[in-house]
Every structure is written in C-alpha cells, then in structure tokens.
C-alpha cells in the first residue's frame, strides 16, 4: 500500500516556530531563575537554623549567668556573716582569759595550758591553745557548751579523753584538746559591693544540761532497798477465806422456794453460797434469779471502813452500788 503524506497547513507552520521558541525561553528562565531561588531559599533556611541554635545557647548562658549572680550574692552574705562572727586581731587577746573562765565555771581542773604556733591564711588566721583538763563527764559537757556560747568562733580539735590518774582521784576523766580561735583578716576591697546582701543569721548559744542523766564513766550506785511489805492477814479456810472480788458466779439453783448460788474461786475451787454466808471481806445479802448481792467492806480512809453493795450476775461484770451503812 503506498504511503501518502498529509500536507501541513500553512497556518500551523507559521504557529509552530513561535511555540517552539517560547518553550525554549520558558525552560531557560526556569533553569536560571526559579532553580536559583530554590538554592538561595535552602541556604537561608540553614542560616536561620544556625541562628536559632545560637539563640538557644545564648539563653542557656544567660540562665547560667543569673544562677552565678545569685550564688555570688549568697556567698557574699555568708562572708558578711562570718565577718560579723569572726573576731579581729584586737579581740583575740582575750581568748586565754575566756578559756580559763569557762573552765572554772564548769567545775574543771586545769592541769596544763599552752599557746601553740598559729597559722596564717588568706582570709583568716588560727590561734591555738592546748588544754589538759580533769573533771567529771557532765562537767566536760558544760565546758563544751560554754565554748559554743562564746562570741568568737572557737573550734575544738584533737580531743582525747582518758581515765584520770591517781593524783586526780576526785575527777573521773582527763581531757586533752586544742582550742582554735579563727581570726578574720579583711581582704582589700575591690570592685563594687554585692547586691542586696542578706543580714547574718543570729547565733543561738548552746547550753549543756545534764538533766539528771547518769555519768557513763562513773560507777552506778546500788539502788536503795525497797521497804518490806506488811505481811498479809491470815485467811481462814473455806468460804470465809475468800474475797468478794475473787469469786466468779457460775450457776443459780432454786429449791424449796429458795435460791442458792454456785461460784468458783482461786485454784478453780467450788463454793455453794447461801443467804447470810460470810466471806473474808463481806457477806451474802441476797440471792435471786438474776444474781447475788454482796456487802463488801472497803477502806474508807483515816483508818476506817465503809460497806459497798456488789451485784454479781452470770457471765457479767460485777456492779458496785451505793454504800450501805
């Protein structure tokens, strides 16, 4: 079959050339302009992410700076409190006198006292005195309490406690210790003062009190003998030797129009109760269908006695009524 070609209309030939040129221009524009803007947008986005990270790091550093400022204010306040509590060089000379007064007031014996070499620091120096004291356990507690109540700060170091020697037989213990006075040395002021320093907290002096407690280093005293109890009265045998409180009602029996009661006492002994029977501290007044009424003698004070009505029922607690004269 022979192939035949369809002729292209002239108007389509004239329109195809401009369309091809327009598509070529549109493709070149997309390549050079739109794709270029996309690359720039991606670059700007990365720069924005880096800036956000830097801002986060800056906020963290700002918080750390505020925490450090707050910590510095607290440290400055504590420093001011120490400056108020620690003595200066001019007040340190009275330490030896204060130690001697505290020792005498506590009832201790001073066996030895010596000044030891001091040590210099950046903000304070140490003035030390070695003490050898003899006394009782609670006397040492009172001495430590008096040291805690002194205005200058005095710390105790190298404390050793041992039994007293023969020459100190009246004293139970010997204590060897070092009392250290911390002397404040104000540094050279530099920079601005701390912001709003808090006032130093007031010191509460400590006082030792024995409060009647035994000295653990002293031998305990033998307790005083207890007074011997008076011998109890001799009870007669049988029902007359039983107390009203010792009897427990276990049964009631009616025979011939009269009631008798069955009761048990110490040692599971059994007794038959009738009206008028006498006991060691009382008497049977009445026996009825609901229980037994006793007259019981009790101490009335001033060496006298009084009578109390006691009602006992089956499986019930006894009931005390008013006095019967």
The answer to whether residue 112 is domain-embedded is yes
Residues 111 and 72 placed together within one structural domain of the fold: no
Q: Quick one: 43 and 101 in the same domain?
A: no
Answer yes or no: do 43 and 107 share one domain.
Answer: no
144 lies in some domain: yes
In a domain, 221, yes or no: no
Task: Please state whether 196 falls in left (phi above 0), alpha (psi between -120 and 50) or beta.
Answer: left
Range of the domain at 162: 89-184
- 95 with 176, same domain: the answer is yes
62 assigned to some structural domain:
yes
Tokens of 41: 């947008």
Last residue of a domain, one of 85, 119, 139: 85
**What CATH number is attached to the domain comprising 120?**
3.30.70.60
Q: What is the pLDDT of residue 190?
A: 45
CA distances from 37 to 34, 50, 99 (A): 5, 20, 87
The last residue of one of the domains, among 168, 184, 200, is: 184
Residue 233 lies inside a defined structural domain of this protein: no
- If asked whether residues 70 and 101 sit together in one domain, one would say no
> 104 — phi, psi (to 5°)?
-65, -45
Which two tokens mark 34?
């739109």
- Total domains, the chain: 3
Q: Tell me the three-class secondary structure of the chain, residue by residue.
A: CCCCCCCCCHHHHHHHHHHHHHHHHHHHHHHHHHHHHHHHHHHHHHHHHHHHHHHHHHHHHHHHHHHHHHHHHHHHHHHHHHHHHCCCHHHHHHHHHHHHHHHHHCCCEEEEEEEEEEEECCCEEEEEEEEEEEECHHHHHHHHHHHHCCCCCEEEEEEEEEECCHHHCCCCEEEEEEEEEEEECCCCCCCCCCCCCCCCCCCCCCCCCCCCCCCCCCCCCCCCCCCCCCCCCCCCCHHHHCCHHHCEEEEEEEECCEEEEEEEEHHHEEEEECCCCECCCEEEEEEECCEEEEEEEEEEECCEEEEEEEEECCCCCCEEEEECC
Q: What is the pLDDT along the chain (325 residues), one digit of tens a residue?
A: 565 656 666 666 666 667 777 777 777 666 666 556 667 778 888 888 888 888 888 888 888 888 888 888 888 877 776 655 555 544 555 667 777 788 878 888 888 878 777 777 666 677 788 888 888 888 888 888 887 777 667 778 888 888 876 665 555 788 888 888 777 666 654 444 444 555 556 666 677 777 777 777 776 666 555 445 445 568 888 888 999 989 988 888 888 888 899 899 888 888 999 999 999 999 999 998 889 999 998 877 666 788 889 999 887 666 566 555 4
pLDDT for the residue 229: 44
Residue 293: the pLDDT is 92
Which residues, in sequence order, are bridge partners of residue 305? Answer: 299
- State whether 79 and 119 are in the same domain: no
Q: Is the domain of 276 the same as that of 290?
A: yes
40, 66, 85 — which closes off a domain? 85
Can you give the pLDDT at residue 325? 47
Is there a single domain that holds both residue 255 and residue 285? yes
Q: Domain containing 244 — which CATH number?
A: 2.30.30.830
Residue 193 lies in a domain: no
Q: Are residues 244 and 284 in the same domain?
A: yes
If asked whether residues 77 and 61 sit together in one domain, one would say: yes
Same domain, 51 and 96: no
Looking at the domain assignment, is residue 261 inside a domain?
Answer: yes
179 in a structural domain: yes
CA distance 298 to 282: 9
CA 262 – CA 251 distance, rounded (Å): 5
**Which phi and psi angles does 4 have, rounded to 5°?**
-125, 140
Considering the domain architecture, whether residues 55 and 97 belong to the same structural domain is answered as no
The answer to whether residues 110 and 103 touch, using CB atoms and an 8 Å cutoff, is yes
């Amino acid at each position: 079959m022979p192939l035949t070609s369809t002729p292209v209309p002239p108007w389509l030939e004239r329109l195809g050339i401009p369309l091809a040129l327009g598509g070529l221009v549109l493709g070149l524009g997309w390549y050079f302009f739109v794709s270029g803007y996309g690359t720039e947008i991606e670059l700007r986005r990365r720069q924005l992410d880096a800036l956000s990270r830097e801002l986060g790091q800056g906020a963290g550093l700002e918080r750390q700076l505020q925490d450090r400022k707050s910590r510095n204010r607290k440290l400055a306040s504590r420093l001011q409190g120490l400056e108020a509590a620690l003595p200066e060089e001019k007040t340190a000379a009275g330490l030896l006198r204060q130690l001697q007064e505290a020792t005498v007031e506590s009832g201790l014996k001073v066996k030895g006292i010596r000044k030891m070499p001091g040590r210099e620091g950046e903000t304070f120096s140490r003035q030390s005195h070695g003490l050898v004291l003899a006394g009782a356990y609670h006397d040492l507690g009172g001495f430590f309490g008096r040291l805690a109540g002194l205005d200058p700060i005095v710390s105790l170091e190298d404390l050793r406690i041992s039994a007293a020697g023969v020459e100190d037989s009246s004293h139970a213990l010997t204590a060897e210790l070092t009392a250290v006075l911390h002397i404040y040395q104000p540094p050279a002021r530099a920079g601005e003062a701390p912001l709003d320093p808090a006032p130093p907290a007031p010191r509460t002096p400590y006082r030792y009190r024995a409060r009647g407690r035994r000295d653990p280093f002293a031998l305990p005293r033998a307790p005083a003998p207890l007074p011997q109890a008076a011998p109890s009265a001799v009870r007669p045998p049988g029902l007359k030797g039983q107390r009203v409180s010792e009897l427990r009602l276990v049964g009631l029996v009616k025979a011939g129009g009269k009631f008798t009661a069955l009761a048990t006492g110490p040692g599971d002994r059994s007794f038959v109760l009738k009206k008028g029977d006498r006991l060691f501290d009382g008497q049977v007044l009445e026996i009825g269908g609901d229980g037994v009424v006793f007259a019981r003698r009790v101490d009335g004070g001033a060496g006298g006695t009084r009578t109390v009505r006691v009602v006992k029922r089956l499986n019930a607690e006894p009931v005390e009524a008013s006095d019967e004269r």
